[in-house]
Structure 1
Amino acid sequence: MAISEIGSDRPGTQAPAAGARERTVSRPGMLRRDSLVTGAKAVAGIVGLFVVWELLVIIFDPPEFLLVGPTAAFQELFERPEYFATNTFVTLQEALAGFALGTALGVLCGATLHYSPTIRSFLYPALVAIDTIPKVALAPLFIVWFGFGFESKALVAMAIAFFPLVINTYDGLSSVPHELQELARINRASQWKKMTKIEMIYALPSIFSGAKISISLAVGGAVVGEFIAGSEGLGYVILLANSQVDLPSMFAAFIVLAAIALALFFLVDFAGRKLIPWKNHAK
């Protein structure tokens, strides 16, 4: 009698396999349930923050030119929805364009640093030096080069979103296990197949981690550009409200900016979960 047949006659042999199948089948449901719980906690945390903010304003009753509560900010949003929607759309366009450019250039530059040690020895220190320069200082230079329009704000957003993707792409490609490298060599895989089938796929989680950082930074970069030379957008709304000591409008713009950054962050996180499902199942 075969060994497999002997094993199958033993009592309780099939039960673990069935249990394993049950766990495998129920795993997607568990992930969805965990996501819902996480989302509910996030919403509860945001609501709690607004409640604490409102209570502090009620208790200490500061002058309106120093601090207003979230109810005043939301009232401003509801009274002028078109004004905030129009300026939000401008900032969102600039942030998304800057993020797209920063992602493409960041991944390309990170891959270049990994695959070319000669270029890395020259370029990496220069990139670190440039990244240490405050982007507010670079914004006027972009405006001189590209004018006061959409392009200069998008490029400021790109400059801020660029560096995290460079570092995360380089680190992701550099962390491919030696065993996988040897497997590709044994199977005589070409450099292109090695890069596309092993290294870039292995680096995807790291790249998406950098993208989640960069998308929030891109929103801030668009606002920085609008601070320097903007006639529209949420950065311009904040500057205008500051000049008029209009705190409800200012805090309303802050809330919209936070909502945009949070929504884009979760959108990138959702895309990462769909494109790299093996990372979730490995947990």
Structure 2
Amino acid sequence: MLVGQKPRRRRLGRESVAAGAKAVAGLIGIFALWQVLVVVLDPPEFLLVGPISAFAELLERPGYFASNTFITLQEALAGFALGTALGVLCGAALHYSTTVRSFLYPALIAIDTIPKVALAPLFIVWFGFGFESKAFVAMAIAFFPLVINTYDGLRSVPHELQELARINKASRWKKMTKIEFIYAIPAIFSGAKISISLAVGGAVVGEFIAGSQGLGYVILLANSQVDLPSMFAAFIVLAVIALALFFIVDRAGRKLFPWKNHSR
């Protein structure tokens, strides 16, 4: 087993590097196409600017963008952490309690259909204009994918494993921790990969409603001044943040359930 694991790990490492290289090549291609369109169409600067102008703005004011990026990143990570904890707990409650599922599941679906932008002012009223309100907006958006994926992951445990636990007279706690949640980990991390990107968007939504700092505020300020280079620079930073966090969560998931990668 130990001898076979090394080539497998090297193969998975090469696959990860190749996937990363393709992603970078794709981004470079998008930026190149964007710049070519701007050069060919030559639109006014108040309508569209190219990535060169956006990157020039980033290089001209690195401290300004870095400080606001740090604020948005803190809000997004706090919202993601809260959303993950509550989402997993709520998904588990839906699975293990018929009563909770009967009453809570329809309500969650109904709440999920409400645009989260509409909920943002409510969080501002409850938690004020500071860090907390933006974090709770991010949490509200990141919460639902984890609820659904946790619930679906726990429901998808094969009947054979359930029967094996019954035959071996496993306790409810051991059955939950040794079989059900282990089997549900891939589904939970699939939801987490969606939620981490949504949390970044949620933090920006909160900054749109009541922000005096952060990338959402940068975008609003640039919009009021018709400063498209700053606006597109903020868009690029947000995309990089969301992409980086997505790959971090994906990497963590691969470390926690390597058997899924080996079975491919």
Q: Tell whether the structures are fold-level matches, with TM greater than 0.5.
A: yes
Query: Which residue is 2:221 aligned to?
Result: 240
Whole-Å separation in 1 of the counterparts to 2:247 and 2:134: 23
Provide runs of 4+ in structure 1 moved above 2 Å.
Answer: 20-25
Amino acid at match of 2:23: A
Equivalences for 1:28-67 in 2 at 5 Å? 28-67=9-48
After alignment, is 21-30 or 192-201 more displaced?
A: 21-30
Amino acid at match of 1:231: S
Amino acid at match of 1:42: A
- Number of aligned residue pairs: 264
1:47-70 CA-partner distances (Å, limit 9, x unpaired): 000000000000010000000000
Query: Which residue is 1:168 aligned to?
Result: 149
1:217-244 CA-partner distances (Å, limit 9, x unpaired): 0000000000000000000000000000
After alignment, is 231-240 or 271-280 more displaced?
A: 271-280
1:93 aligned onto 2:74: yes
Query: Which residue is 2:247 aligned to?
Result: 266
Query: Which residue is 1:207 aligned to?
Result: 188
Query: Which residue is 1:14 aligned to?
Result: none
Query: Which residue is 1:83 aligned to?
Result: 64
Query: Which residue is 1:143 aligned to?
Result: 124
1:191 aligned onto 2:172: yes
Equivalences for 1:225-236 in 2 at 5 Å? 225-236=206-217
Alignment identity in percent? 81
Give the secondary structure class of the aligned counterpart of 1:67.
coil
Whole-Å separation in 1 of the counterparts to 2:25 and 2:240: 15
1:257 aligned onto 2:238: yes
Q: 1:124 aligns with which of 105, 110, 116?
A: 105
Unaligned segments of structure 2, at least 5 residues: none
Whole-Å separation in 1 of the counterparts to 2:3 and 2:59: 49
Whole-Å separation in 2 of the counterparts to 1:262 and 1:127: 28
Please, what TM-score do these two structures have when normalized by structure 1? 0.92
Give the Å deviation of 1:21.
9.1
Amino acid at match of 1:61: D
Please, what TM-score do these two structures have when normalized by structure 2? 0.98
Whole-Å separation in 2 of the counterparts to 1:143 and 1:179: 49
Give the secondary structure class of the aligned counterpart of 2:212.
coil
Amino acid at match of 1:239: L
1:168-198 CA-partner distances (Å, limit 9, x unpaired): 0000000000000000001100000000000
Whole-Å separation in 1 of the counterparts to 2:5 and 2:46: 58
Q: Which of 1 and 2 has greater Rg?
A: 1
Give the Å deviation of 1:23.
6.0
CA distance 1:21–1:223, change in 2 (3 Å): closer
Whole-Å separation in 1 of the counterparts to 2:159 and 2:73: 42
Whole-Å separation in 1 of the counterparts to 2:3 and 2:135: 49
CA distance 1:239–1:179, change in 2 (3 Å): same
Unaligned segments of structure 1, at least 5 residues: 1-19
Amino acid at match of 1:29: R
Whole-Å separation in 2 of the counterparts to 1:153 and 1:42: 30
Give the secondary structure class of the aligned counterpart of 1:83.
helix
Q: Aligned-pair RMSD on alpha carbons?
A: 1.1
Give the secondary structure class of the aligned counterpart of 2:46.
coil
Give the secondary structure class of the aligned counterpart of 1:168.
helix
Give the Å deviation of 1:29.
1.1
